[in-house]
Structure 1
Amino acid sequence: MSDAVRPRRNFYGRLKGKALKKSQKTYLDEDLEALSPGPVSWEANPARAPLDLGARFGGRPVWLEIGFGGGEHLVHQAAANPQVGIIGCEPYINGVAMLLGKIRRAGVTNLAVHPGDARDLFDVLPEGAIERAFLLYPDPWPKARHHRRRFVTAEHLAPLARVMAPGAILRVATDIEDYVRQTLEEVPRHGFDWLAERPGDWRAPWDDWLPTRYERKALREGRRPHYLTFRRA
């Protein structure tokens, strides 16, 4: 892929919020580089060579969380599943800093962090490399004219399907009913089967679920979470 041409990609959403705490700046300066999954950026990997996940995770199965927010679920899964390697992807630098603090406190060592656009990561993940993926409370983009910005569109789902192994599991959690509708329309079109057989399969959280701050906010405001499980065909 030495002749790879960088695609033109618009990014919507926040990259940075309020001023970081001194401790958070320290986490970014001291910890982030060592947690990289490998050369992801176009500047570091213009040929878009696939990442060596075996070198990074020692041959363990690899999971992926897309948009990890403050990182509580990501660290929870890493601590509960030391037999896997997990990559977290999040462009919002304040969330990345929060995650790094949680990693320090939890002492987990099976995580990698990409502080950027998931599409850049998809470029360099090997085909079929991901055994499980999480999309938890993604930005809802509630206005109809902004629905094309949602993650559950072909621009994101096609490359996600490429990097997921046959039989791999995709979990989607959202409290926005219209996002549920679009997810159920678009995700199966890209090679995934919805695994629900009864209402409880999307109304009840997964057995290993850790509620996030976004979910707690949704419940306080009277919105019902939905837990959708898909399998890569």
Structure 2
Amino acid sequence: MTSRPPDTPLRPIRTFGRTGGRALSARQQALVDELLPGLTVPVGEDGALDPHALFVRLGPVCLEIGFGGGEHLLEQARRAPDTGFIGCEPFIEGMAKALTGVQEHGLDNVRLWMDDARLLMAALADASVDQAYILFPDPWPKKKQQKRRLIQPDFLDALHRILSVGARVRFATDVVSYADEALARFTAHGGFAWLAESADDWRVRPADHVPTRYEAKRLGDCEPVWFDFRVL
């Protein structure tokens, strides 16, 4: 039996499922091999990375955690060319789709991270992100799996650290138990103000949202729920 070297940090509990599936096409594999290295966020010392320095235009920076097939990330980046978008997705097929879109649309305001988002977040400087999206994260619906859900107190601490005061966070899910749990944890944290004023604010899809293929599959046990927060 071997032990972990004392200077090796513990990797956080995994919050996502498999990261690979069907084989990539030749074009997708070429994009992963050739385009992704230049777009990958250079993670280094904890708290040292100013994400604004990753982009040519010095506008706001938005972080999307778990972008799936990239539909939302790419369209938001296309709509807001002066905003820098950082997308995190450990699933290689989703990353390949995003790379295809980046190339096809000539997007120069997208940077990518193909690993656990929490590793990237640890590298980001305090108050350096202006908006965050967490849309339909893995719900881990079985009771024994729910410790793997992304929205945990320590994750919210890390998210709050990297967001600027007044930054917005959007969380969406189509699983009742996750909606209840996530809202309770966000509101209990103390650093996030829930912006809902009526039921429509969380029942109706936001006007600026970009629908994704995941939503169309209707895999959850309820209609999508949308929670928007402001960072205090």
Could you state the TM-score of these two structures normalised by the residue count of structure 1?
0.90
| CA apart distance, 1:155 | 3.0
Check 1:222–1:119 CA distance in 2 against 1; reply closer, same or farther (3 A cut). Answer: closer
Quick one: which amino acid aligns to residue 19 of structure 1? Answer: A
| CA apart distance, 1:34 | 1.0
Structure 1 position 21 matched with structure 2 position 25: yes
Q: Would you say the 8 A contact 2:46–2:124 is kept in 1? A: no
Q: C-alpha distance in 2, partners of 1:72/1:32?
A: 17
Corresponding residue of 1:169 = 168
Q: Would you say the 8 A contact 1:131–1:164 is kept in 2? A: yes
**1:58-97 to 2 correspondences below 5 Å:** 58=56, 59-97=58-96
Specify which of 9, 14, 37 is matched with residue 11 of structure 1. 14
Structure 1 position 30 matched with structure 2 position 34: yes
- CA deviation map 1:93-136 (0-9, x unaligned): 11111110111112211000011111100111111111110001
Quick one: which amino acid aligns to residue 202 of structure 2? Answer: W
| CA apart distance, 1:222 | 7.2
Q: Which moved more, 1:56-65 or 1:128-137?
A: 56-65
Q: C-alpha distance in 2, partners of 1:232/1:222?
A: 29
Q: Would you say the 8 A contact 1:90–1:96 is kept in 2? A: yes
Corresponding residue of 2:3 = none
Check 1:225–1:49 CA distance in 2 against 1; reply closer, same or farther (3 A cut). Answer: closer
Q: C-alpha distance in 2, partners of 1:134/1:156?
A: 14
Check 1:36–1:196 CA distance in 2 against 1; reply closer, same or farther (3 A cut). Answer: same
Q: C-alpha distance in 2, partners of 1:150/1:7?
A: 18
3-state DSSP of counterpart to 2:230: strand
3-state DSSP of counterpart to 1:230: strand
Quick one: which amino acid aligns to residue 26 of structure 1? Answer: A
Quick one: which amino acid aligns to residue 13 of structure 2? Answer: N
Corresponding residue of 1:211 = 211
3-state DSSP of counterpart to 2:196: coil
Quick one: which amino acid aligns to residue 142 of structure 2? Answer: K
Q: Would you say the 8 A contact 2:67–2:73 is kept in 1? A: yes
Corresponding residue of 2:199 = 199
| CA apart distance, 1:5 | 5.6
Q: Which moved more, 1:5-14 or 1:137-146?
A: 5-14
Quick one: which amino acid aligns to residue 57 of structure 1? Answer: F
Identity in percent: 41
Specify which of 51, 54, 71 is matched with residue 53 of structure 1. 51
Q: C-alpha distance in 2, partners of 1:77/1:217?
A: 21
Q: Would you say the 8 A contact 2:47–2:125 is kept in 1? A: no
Check 1:160–1:222 CA distance in 2 against 1; reply closer, same or farther (3 A cut). Answer: closer
Quick one: which amino acid aligns to residue 216 of structure 1? Answer: A
Q: Would you say the 8 A contact 1:37–1:51 is kept in 2? A: no
Q: Would you say the 8 A contact 1:151–1:157 is kept in 2? A: no
Q: C-alpha distance in 2, partners of 1:194/1:56?
A: 30
- CA deviation map 1:6-50 (0-9, x unaligned): 233232421211111111101101110111222x2xxxx3x4361
Structure 1 position 123 matched with structure 2 position 122: yes
Q: CA RMSD in A?
A: 1.8
